[in-house]
Amino acid sequence: MRFTSLLALGLAGLALAKDGTTTETTETNTNTDLSSTITGSSTSYNWSDASTITNASAQVPTGSYLTYTSVITLGNGDHKTVVSSSLNASATATGNQTLLHTSTSDSVTVLVGGGGTTTLGNNSMNATHTHSSTSSIPTETNTTPCNGYSEFCLRNYSNITNVAAHNSPFVVPGNAASNQALKVTDQLNDGIRMLQFQAHNKSGEIHLCHSSCDMLDAGTLESYLAQVYQWMIKNPYNVVTFVMGNSDNLPPTAFVDSIEKSGLKNIIYSPPKAPMALDDWPTLSEMILSNKRAVFFMDYGANETAVPYIMDEFSQLWETPFSPTDRDFPCTVQRPPGLNHKDATNRMYMINHNLNLELNFGSISLLIPNTAYMVDTNSANETLYGSLGNMSAKCSEMWDRPPNFLLVDYYNWGKPNGSVFEVAAKANNVTWNGNCCGSTSAAAHMAVASVSTMVLIAAGVQFLLAAF
CA 50/CA 374 separation, integer angstroms: 13
- Between 454 and 258, whose confidence is greater? 258
Percent residues over pLDDT 90 in the chain = 56
pLDDT for res 322: 87
- Between 415 and 273, whose confidence is greater? 273
**Cα dist. 339→332, 334, 392 in Å?**
10, 8, 20
pLDDT for res 112: 53
pLDDT for res 214: 87
pLDDT band at 30 (very low <50, low <70, confident <90, very high): very low
pLDDT (mean) for 165-179 = 92
pLDDT for res 141: 52
CA 404/CA 348 separation, integer angstroms: 6
Q: What is the pLDDT of residues 221-250, one digit of tens each?
A: 999 999 999 999 999 999 999 999 999 999
| β-bridge pairing 72-73 and 273-274 | antiparallel
CA 354/CA 216 separation, integer angstroms: 18
Q: Does the pLDDT at position 287 exceed 90?
A: yes
pLDDT (mean) for 87-115 = 36
Look up the pTM and report it: 0.77
pLDDT (mean) for 354-358 = 91
pLDDT for res 101: 35
Q: Does the pLDDT at position 199 exceed 50?
A: yes
pLDDT band at 367 (very low <50, low <70, confident <90, very high): confident
- Between 233 and 210, whose confidence is greater? 233
Read off the amino acid at residue 386: G
Options 166, 200, 207, 353, the catalytic residue: 166
pLDDT for res 153: 95
- Between 33 and 412, whose confidence is greater? 412
Sketch the domain layout of the chain as residue ranges.
3-48+449-467, 92-152, 158-443
pLDDT for res 306: 95
pLDDT for res 175: 84
Most confident listed range (34-48, 104-118, 381-395, 424-438): 381-395
Helix axis angle, 3-12 relative to 451-467, nearest 10°? 160
pLDDT (mean) for 357-362 = 79
Percent residues over pLDDT 70 in the chain = 67
CA 40/CA 54 separation, integer angstroms: 12
pLDDT band at 76 (very low <50, low <70, confident <90, very high): confident
Q: Does the pLDDT at position 137 exceed 90?
A: no
Q: Does the pLDDT at position 16 exceed 60?
A: no
pLDDT (mean) for 91-100 = 32
Least confident of 144-153, 288-297, 357-366, 405-414: 357-366
pLDDT for res 458: 45
- Between 369 and 415, whose confidence is greater? 369
| Residue 79: active-site member | no
Least confident of 4-18, 266-280, 306-320, 361-375: 4-18
Topology given in CATH for the domain delimited by 158-443: TIM Barrel (3.20.20)
Angle ∠(310,268,225) on CA atoms, nearest 5: 85
pLDDT band at 100 (very low <50, low <70, confident <90, very high): very low
Mean of the per-residue pLDDT values for the chain?
76
Most confident listed range (47-51, 367-371, 448-452): 367-371
pLDDT (mean) for 268-291 = 96
- Between 57 and 166, whose confidence is greater? 166
CA 15/CA 12 separation, integer angstroms: 8
pLDDT for res 49: 33
pLDDT (mean) for 360-367 = 74
pLDDT for res 181: 95
pLDDT for res 37: 27
Give the chain's end-to-end CA distance (angstroms, integer).
15
pLDDT (mean) for 303-318 = 97
pLDDT (mean) for 442-455 = 38
Options 101, 200, 207, 210, the catalytic residue: 210
Question: Which element (helix H / strand E) includes 459?
Answer: helix 451-467
Can you state the percent helix, strand and coil of the chain, rounding each to 5?
25, 20, 55
